[in-house]
Amino acid sequence: MKSISSVLRGISLAFCAVMLIASSFFWAASPAAAETYNVKMGTPKGLVFDPAVVTIKPGDTVQWQVGSLPPHNVVFDSAKVPDGNKDLAAKLSHKGLEGAGKSFEVNFPADTPAGEYSYYCLPHRGAGMVGKVIVQ
């Protein structure tokens, strides 16, 4: 006949095993926290995005901040996004012109396909004001 302590020990071990298994499902299912990345538009370096390339994950947000030489905007080139997805390029674009001290954010939805997303500032594209978001 088992003693009470051995029965309690067995119950405790079973309880610990159940909790360990349950917590592994919780941690595996919890999504990573979304990040926000900052890009300056127009800097002392000139008509550039700084940084010119940002690497993000789906669900992250990119915030563009107007620095010098405004106005600026961000237009994603539908020919230079994965699969030439014109609808996604239009959705990500911020075509309104923003002046000094302004900013705007663009969220890349959780279902954004991985790949390179090239963009430019419409008024300054000819001056080489281009950038890229890489979604991993």
Given 19, 41, 94, 124, which residue is catalytic?
A: 124
- How many other CB atoms are found less than 10 A from the CB of residue 50? 16
Q: Are 120 and 113 in contact (CB under 8 A)?
A: no
Residues sharing a CB contact under 8 Å with residue 89, sequence separation 6 or more, in sequence order: 76, 77, 78, 81, 117
In angstroms, the CA 48 to CA 128 distance is 7
Task: Confirm whether 19 is a catalytic residue.
Answer: no
Our answer to whether residue 94 is catalytic in this structure is no
Write the single-letter amino acid at 115: G
1 catalytic? Reply is: no
121 catalytic? Reply is: yes
Would you name the residues annotated as active-site residues?
72, 121, 124, 129
